[in-house]
Amino acid sequence: MLGLLKRHEVEILLKAGHKRTEVARLTGISPSSVERIAGEAPIDHFNDTAERRKRRIGRPSIVEGSRKIISDILKKEPNLPSLEIFRQVRKAGYSSGKTALYALVASLRGTEPDTRRNEAFEWMRAVQQGAIPRSTLQQELGHVIELDKLLKGIRNGPSPQRKKAMAVLSLERGIERSLVRSFLHLSGRSERSYWERYRQGSTVALFAKRMNAGRKSQDDRIRQAVIALLHSPPSVHGINRTTWRMTDLQRILREEGQPISRDLISAIIEDAGFKWRKARVVLTSSDPNYQAKVERIVKILSELKSDEAFFSVDEFGPFAVKKRGGRKRVAPGEDYTVPQQQKSKGSLIITAALELSRNQVTHFYSNKKNTQEMIKMMDLLRIQYRNCTTIYLSWDAASWHISQDLTMHVKQRNDNALAEGYPVVKTAPLPAGAQFLNVIESVFSGMARGIIHNSDYCSVEAAKEAIDRYYAERNEYFQAHPRRAGHKIWGQECVQSEFHESNNCKDPLYCW
């Protein structure tokens, strides 16, 4: 309610020609109050008649109609916070503001607001200083089961724990929430959080450290949305660019219902193991038909029958067989170095196919990467999976994977497939520049981490023996335990062996 001098000041400024918004700014009064004063007839505040004063003083108070309701509430619960009383009175039909009601509540309690505040602050300060004996607190707060733990937290715990324990103990005593927040300098959200955690999980939940698992950069839903968007070319989203900009990423994510900051996008990319410069080159496809090809593969996998098989095919290498660097434990004083100049013992190229539903790897060694090796892999898979009706081959857009010679051989095999009892071969190529979606790359990364990283094989044959054993053990394991492969299940594979648009199967640290 505005004072007479304040109203007079507003009227003078209005008469002087000031705009109403300027009057509100100069006087600190809300624009709505200025509007109301401007619409009223001017009052001579210094020569007001006794009759006008009597008429205003005799005006009935809205809050007085709730006096009986408030009295009944205080009889049942004398220490009930004023805010809770306000909520109950509102349900009973009270439609005015808090200020007048709080004043009436204070008068009915028989205690002025300042007196209550001082008493509450003195009690909380005495508890913090240990000035109240344990026996007195026990009599006053005997209903609190974990009183000793809360007192120990207040007196011996670290600063955050002391604040939590003090807040809970004060609320248990019946001190108003607003006074607790004011004394401890807490936000309403923190005070409610402390109370809910204590109420649901006692002091164990109250004092537990908050884990970082709730960070947005570790939210799988957000991470997958960012990586999936980064994989697709900007032109798919109507952006006339060949590489992504942070501004464009943020805008498209916001339009898709993921309003996140640039810093968070950078953190997600770095957590995936890529720097921003490399991420633009490695993680983004330039294929204009990117989305259509991805959707076709997803459709095939979602409708794959038990007598069908889907293969992710690729080559690993060539890589030299020599001493490889890496991290390992060494004895005190022992140096572990890898010579910069080494004589290679030979090189290897591994051609392999991963069947996604059965999680089995078929591999052999090649001298070159060419169409003939792909035809050899196709014929090998036709023999191994002869009991299937259809096999799908999925590979990246390397020239020897999409050659006319390979297409012709696939057609020749299919012409005689039914008569000879072999499965029909169909291809499901990945988008151009999308090696990160090739699931076999994840298995290659796991193999490299497990037996090539930090290795020093004496010969090419020794390296082949280790690789053969790795894949044999892996296949045997997943025959006995059919499940998707991930770094928690087998080796150090960077992602699960399943096709997903947000996959980063090609690990930049372990690919040669």
DSSP single-letter state for residue 174: T
pLDDT at 500 over 60: no
Instruction: Find the mean pLDDT for residues 42-47.
Output: 44
Place of tokens 């913090």: 128
Pairing type for strands 390-394 and 424-427 reads parallel
The whole-angstrom separation of Cα 14 and Cα 10 is 6
Q: Which of 472, 469, 474 is nearest to 457 (CA)?
A: 469
Closest to 83 (Cα-Cα) out of 163, 167, 171, 166: 171
Contacts of 12 (CB under 8 A, 6+ apart): none
Sign of CA dihedral 237, 241, 247, 249: positive
H helical segments located in 261-391: 262-271, 276-282, 290-302, 371-384
Q: Between helices 159-173 and 177-184, what is the axis angle to 10°?
A: 160
Of the pLDDT bands very low, low, confident and very high (cuts 50, 70, 90), residue 496 is low
pTM over 0.85: no
Q: In this predicted structure, what is the pLDDT of residue 425? A: 92
Question: Taken in order 202, 205, 206, 207, is the CA torsion positive or negative?
Answer: positive
- Where helices occur in 157-273 by DSSP H, the ranges are 159-173, 177-184, 188-207, 220-231, 246-255, 262-271
pLDDT-derived band at 361 (thresholds 50, 70, 90) equals very high
CA atoms within 13 A on the CB side of 249: 27
Q: State pLDDT tens for residues 124-179.
A: 888 888 888 888 888 888 888 888 889 998 988 888 889 999 999 999 888 888 88
Give the separation between CA 239 and CA 248, rounded to whole angstroms: 8
Burial-class residue 384 by CB neighbours within 10 Å (0-12, 13-18, 19+).
Answer: middle
Residue, of 226 and 496, whose pLDDT is higher: 226
**pLDDT single digits (tens) 203-259:** 888 888 764 434 666 677 888 888 888 888 787 888 776 677 888 888 988 888 888
Look over the chain and give the mean of its residue pLDDT values, rounded to a whole number. Answer: 79
Alpha-carbon gap, residue 28 to 418, rounded angstroms: 88
* Residues pairing with 316 in the sheet: 350
Contact partners, residue 277, CB within 8 Å, separation at least 6: none
Q: Which residue has the tokens 């049942």?
A: 76
Average pLDDT of the residues in 275-296: 71
